[in-house]
DNA sequence: GCCGTTTTCGGCCCGACTGTTTTCAGTCG
């Protein structure tokens, strides 16, 4: 049976190719396909089980798209998509990845110069054929030549892991904060929404001084390799690593409208602007204002702009037009977990792990300093041969923990381990030894290439193990480096409901695992989570803030997170899950 | 292609920048 995400990716491709046919990504047909793709992607009911009539009742899906979905489900094909694939082969579509080449230009290049791929474009550039086309001159030709040469480093679809983008953004923010007159510098866009990968870094500078000072300072930053746009209030540059950084300078009174606008997502903003129009208003990056006369209704804070539209402030992580507007209108926004709710950390390493950097004593002191009511010390199990702790080492640690517990009357210390889930679902040590531990996190650290059936079976077997309270970094992915293991997410969520085993939300920026889309799908299920740092030194304990933001993206509510519970509730859950 | 307390047709989000044009089209976000 075809999955919803496969159907959604067909619809997304339909939108991409329709862009070429329509000549614009803003064409209504294109937007309709995009909306339909988003709706299907997020739906919990399999579309394969739905009638055309039921499909057409979904938001953004009408009779035409419903028929296309049914056709795909029934025949495995979508005739319209196949026609478009013939009209626009992949090598031709590749042309639109070049910055500056949109659908109109690509089609003109083919119609006028018979260019069908990037190689053909290069030849035409060498022959200086582009400058003879309508609306094109030598300058445009040169711009396209430059863009082709750096395809792969600055292409439109290039995305950077959030870990790398955050580092670049931090430097830009620090440098621009020092410019005279600047009172505020904030990263916006997908960085503020905390997506796993970032396209461009968007930054707003609020300044009471001369905006041109900010712009000059911006394009002179050491990180800047090339200036790709330069205006009085808006500029764009490419960083040394090829990331695009967009900068806007705004007045203090515009900050709220600007923050909403530049945070996005685009789909979220479109919904807000539609709501503004219904009221006879207009919403842009400067203000929410009356269409007639332009009297400003709200602009200085996000809260005021949302409130004027009849909405509560919407958390940045869920601004994707995937149901948050409807929830806000119905006063049913989720009670998202926040940093201040955390009462403990359930995945902490010490120097007993080969890759742990600091002593048990230091890690506990740092946890206590964070105000935790409980903590689980979870060094690697022995099956991780280069990093794991032996039984003797764990027993010795257990005695040390017992002594240290006296120093922390307000913090319950659980001594456990991060167990390794073997390819067959077994974990380290033997059941008798494991029963002597207080807590168990079980994680996949090997055999990443098993098929879905086997991966799913091993994870579920670990969940059913009475020594396991939490499944660590569910998919094992490393963002930008390694894909996650192939899992039947539905089956895993069912096992989590059945066993009470928590799914970890890991705070390492290259993990953010379980991924937000998995968390979102767990929303309708009776699943609990743990928000963990997976710290290997005291500094990394702060990683929980990353996990919190990823949890919020996945609509995870406070009540679902076991380490927001009181010590009493938490210990009851631990005891309930241990021993099955 | 979708949608409707302006409902079955006529709308559909908004603006900066660039390069090419003397008023605008294309691209981008």
Burial A479-509 (b: 16+ CB within 10 A, else e): beeeebbebbbeebbebbeebbbbbbbbbbb
Nucleic acid strand B within 7 Å of A67 CB: no
| Neighbour-count burial of A126, counting CB atoms closer than 10 A to its CB (0-12 exposed, 13-18 middle, 19+ buried) | exposed
pLDDT at A143 over 70: yes
- Give Cα A500 distance to the centre of its chain: 26
A255-329 homologous superfamily: DNA polymerase, thumb domain (3.30.210.10)
Minimum mean pLDDT among A195-199, A478-482, A487-491: which range? A478-482
pLDDT band at A383 (very low <50, low <70, confident <90, very high): confident
* Domains in chain A: boundaries: 4-83, 91-151, 160-250, 255-329, 339-577
Point out the residue nearest to B18 (C-alpha to C1'). A229
Query: What secondary structure letter does DSSP report for A464?
Result: H
pLDDT at A522 over 60: yes
Q: What CATH number should be reported for the domain whose range is A4-83?
A: 1.10.150.110
- Geometric angle at alpha carbon A26, from A20 and A30, rounded to 5°: 60
pLDDT given for residue A229 in this prediction: 87
pLDDT given for residue A375 in this prediction: 97
CA distance A245 to A238: 6
CATH topology agreement for domains A91-151 and A160-250? no
pLDDT given for residue A424 in this prediction: 93
The percent of residues above 70 in pLDDT, for chain A, comes to 98
Query: What secondary structure letter does DSSP report for A178?
Result: T
Residue of higher predicted confidence among A386 and A60: A60
Nucleic acid strand B within 7 Å of A174 CB: no
Evaluate the CA torsion angle A351, A353, A356, A360 in order and state its sign.
Answer: negative
**Bases along strand B below 7 A from a protein CB:** 1-3, 6, 11-21, 25-29
| Neighbour-count burial of A41, counting CB atoms closer than 10 A to its CB (0-12 exposed, 13-18 middle, 19+ buried) | middle
pLDDT given for residue A232 in this prediction: 85
pLDDT given for residue A91 in this prediction: 87
pLDDT in tens, A20-39: 998 888 889 999 999 899 88
Nucleic acid strand B within 7 Å of A294 CB: no
pLDDT at A158 over 80: no
pLDDT given for residue A460 in this prediction: 97
pLDDT at A580 over 60: no
Cβ-Cβ contacts under 8 Å for A455 (sequence gap 6 or more): A444, A485, A486, A487
For domain A160-250, is the CATH number 3.30.460.10? yes
CA distance A283 to A285: 7
Point out the residue nearest to B15 (C-alpha to C1'). A284
In whole angstroms, B3 C1' to A10 CA is 23
Residue of higher predicted confidence among A180 and A579: A180
pLDDT band at A490 (very low <50, low <70, confident <90, very high): very high
- Contact call for residues A533 and A541 (beta carbons, < 8 A): yes
As beta bridge partners, residue A293 has: none
pLDDT band at A404 (very low <50, low <70, confident <90, very high): very high
Cβ-Cβ contacts under 8 Å for A398 (sequence gap 6 or more): A415, A436
Residue of higher predicted confidence among A206 and A147: A206
C-alpha separations of A381 from A216, A352, A377, A400 in Å: 54, 10, 12, 18
Cβ-Cβ contacts under 8 Å for A365 (sequence gap 6 or more): none
Nucleic acid strand B within 7 Å of A79 CB: no
A339-577 adopts what CATH topology?
TIM Barrel (3.20.20)
Q: How many CA atoms lie within 13 A of A225 on its CB side?
A: 11
- Contact call for residues A241 and A198 (beta carbons, < 8 A): no
The whole-chain average pLDDT of chain A stands at 92
C-alpha separations of A78 from A60, A410, A547 in Å: 18, 62, 39
* Kind of pairing between the strands at A374-380 and A344-348: parallel
- Outline where A372-441 has alpha helix (H): 391-405, 431-435
Nucleic acid strand B within 7 Å of A101 CB: yes
Minimum mean pLDDT among A52-56, A365-369, A543-547: which range? A52-56
Q: Which nucleotide is nearest to A200 (CA to C1')?
A: B29
CA distance A355 to A337: 30
In whole angstroms, B27 C1' to A321 CA is 24
pLDDT given for residue A134 in this prediction: 87
In which region does residue A415 sit, left (phi positive, over 0), alpha (psi from -120 to 50) or beta (all else)? beta
pLDDT given for residue A44 in this prediction: 83
In whole angstroms, B5 C1' to A278 CA is 12
A91-151 adopts what CATH topology?
DNA polymerase; domain 1 (1.10.150)
As beta bridge partners, residue A504 has: A530
Of the candidates A45, A48, A44, the one whose C-alpha atom is nearest the C-alpha of residue A7 is A48
Phi, psi angle pair for A415, to nearest 5°: -105, 120
Cβ-Cβ contacts under 8 Å for A93 (sequence gap 6 or more): A16, A17, A20
Cβ-Cβ contacts under 8 Å for A337 (sequence gap 6 or more): A531, A548, A551, A552, A556, A557, A558, A560, A561, A564
State the DSSP string of A36-74: HHHHHHH-SS-GGGS-HHHHHTSTT--HHHHHHHHHHHH
pLDDT given for residue A579 in this prediction: 63
Q: What is the mean pLDDT of residues A251-258?
A: 94
Q: What is the mean pLDDT of residues A425-431?
A: 94
Nucleic acid strand B within 7 Å of A254 CB: no
In whole angstroms, B4 C1' to A415 CA is 61
Give the containing element (helix H, strand E) for A575: helix A567-577
In chain A, residues 525 through 554 whose Cβ sits under 7 angstroms from any atom of nucleic acid strand B = none
In whole angstroms, B12 C1' to A272 CA is 14
Q: How many CA atoms lie within 13 A of A199 on its CB side?
A: 12
* Beta carbons within 10 angstroms of residue A563's beta carbon: 27
pLDDT band at A153 (very low <50, low <70, confident <90, very high): low
In whole angstroms, B22 C1' to A231 CA is 22
pLDDT given for residue A154 in this prediction: 59
Maximum mean pLDDT: which of A210-219, A388-397, A561-570: A561-570
pLDDT band at A15 (very low <50, low <70, confident <90, very high): very high
CA distance A409 to A301: 44
Strand order in the sheet with A374-380: A344-348, A374-380, A412-420, A439-443, A470-471, A502-506, A529-532
CA distance A172 to A240: 13
Q: What is the mean pLDDT of residues A404-433?
A: 95
pLDDT at A157 over 60: yes
pLDDT in tens, A272-313: 999 998 888 999 999 999 988 889 999 999 999 999 999 999
Of the candidates A31, A153, A49, the one whose C-alpha atom is nearest the C-alpha of residue A97 is A153
């Amino acid at each position: 049976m075809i999955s919803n995400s496969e159907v959604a990716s067909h619809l997304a491709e339909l939108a991409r190719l329709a862009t070429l046919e329509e000549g614009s990504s803003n064409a209504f047909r294109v937007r309709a396909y995009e909306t339909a793709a988003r709706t299907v992607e997020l739906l919990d009911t399999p579309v394969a089980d739905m009638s055309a009539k039921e499909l057409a009742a979904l938001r953004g899906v009408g009779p035409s798209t419903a028929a296309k979905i049914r056709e795909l489900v029934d025949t495995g094909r979508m005739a319209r998509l196949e026609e478009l694939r013939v009209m626009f082969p992949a090598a031709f579509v590749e042309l639109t990845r070049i910055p500056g080449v949109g659908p109109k230009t690509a089609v003109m290049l083919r119609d006028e110069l018979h260019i069908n791929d990037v190689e053909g474009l290069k030849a035409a550039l060498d022959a200086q054929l582009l400058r003879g086309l309508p609306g094109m001159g030598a300058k445009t030709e040169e711009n396209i030549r430059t863009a082709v040469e750096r395809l792969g480093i600055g292409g439109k679809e290039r995305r950077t892991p959030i870990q790398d983008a955050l580092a670049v953004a931090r430097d830009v923010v620090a440098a621009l904060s020092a410019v005279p007159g600047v009172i505020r510098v904030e990263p916006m866009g997908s960085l503020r929404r905390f997506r796993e990968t970032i396209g461009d870094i968007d930054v707003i500078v609020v300044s009471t001084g001369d905006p041109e000072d900010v712009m000059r300072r911006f394009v002179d930053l050491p990180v800047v390799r090339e200036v790709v746009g330069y205006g009085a209030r808006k500029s764009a540059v490419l960083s040394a690593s090829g990331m695009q950084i967009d900068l806007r300078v705004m007045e203090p009174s515009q900050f709220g409208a600007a923050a909403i606008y530049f945070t996005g997502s685009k789909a979220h903003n479109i919904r807000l602007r539609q709501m503004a129009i219904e009221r006879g208003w207009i919403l842009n990056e400067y203000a929410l204002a009356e269409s007639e006369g332009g009297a400003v209704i709200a602009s200085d804070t996000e809260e005021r702009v949302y409130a004027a539209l009849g909405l509560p402030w919407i958390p940045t992580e869920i601004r994707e037009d995937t149901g948050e507007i409807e929830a806000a209108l119905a006063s049913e926004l989720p009670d998202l977990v926040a940093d201040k709710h955390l009462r403990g950390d359930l995945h902490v390493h010490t120097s007993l792990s080969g890759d742990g950097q600091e002593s048990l004593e230091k890690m506990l002191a740092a946890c206590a300093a964070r105000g935790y009511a409980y903590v689980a010390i979870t060094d690697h199990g022995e099956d991780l041969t280069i990093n794991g702790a032996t039984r003797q080492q764990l027993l010795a640690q257990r005695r040390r923990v017992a002594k240290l517990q006296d120093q922390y009357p307000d913090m319950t210390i659980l001594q456990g381990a991060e167990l390794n889930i073997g390819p067959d679902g077994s974990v380290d040590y033997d059941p008798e030894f494991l029963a002597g531990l207080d807590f168990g996190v079980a994680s996949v650290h090997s055999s990443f290439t098993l098929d879905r059936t086997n991966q799913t079976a091993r994870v579920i077997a670990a969940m059913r193990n009475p020594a396991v309270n939490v499944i660590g970094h569910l998919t094992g992915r490393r963002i930008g480096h390694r894909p996650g293991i192939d899992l039947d997410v539905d089956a895993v969520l069912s096992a989590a409901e059945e066993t009470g085993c928590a799914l970890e939300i890991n705070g390492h920026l290259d993990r953010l695992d379980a991924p937000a889309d998995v968390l979102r799908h767990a929303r309708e299920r009776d699943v609990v989570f743990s928000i963990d740092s997976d710290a290997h030194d005291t500094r990394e304990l702060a990683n929980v803030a990353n996990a919190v933001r990823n949890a919020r993206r996945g609509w995870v509510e406070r009540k679902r997170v076991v380490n927001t519970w009181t010590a009493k509730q938490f210990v009851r859950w631990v005891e309930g899950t241990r021993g099955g």
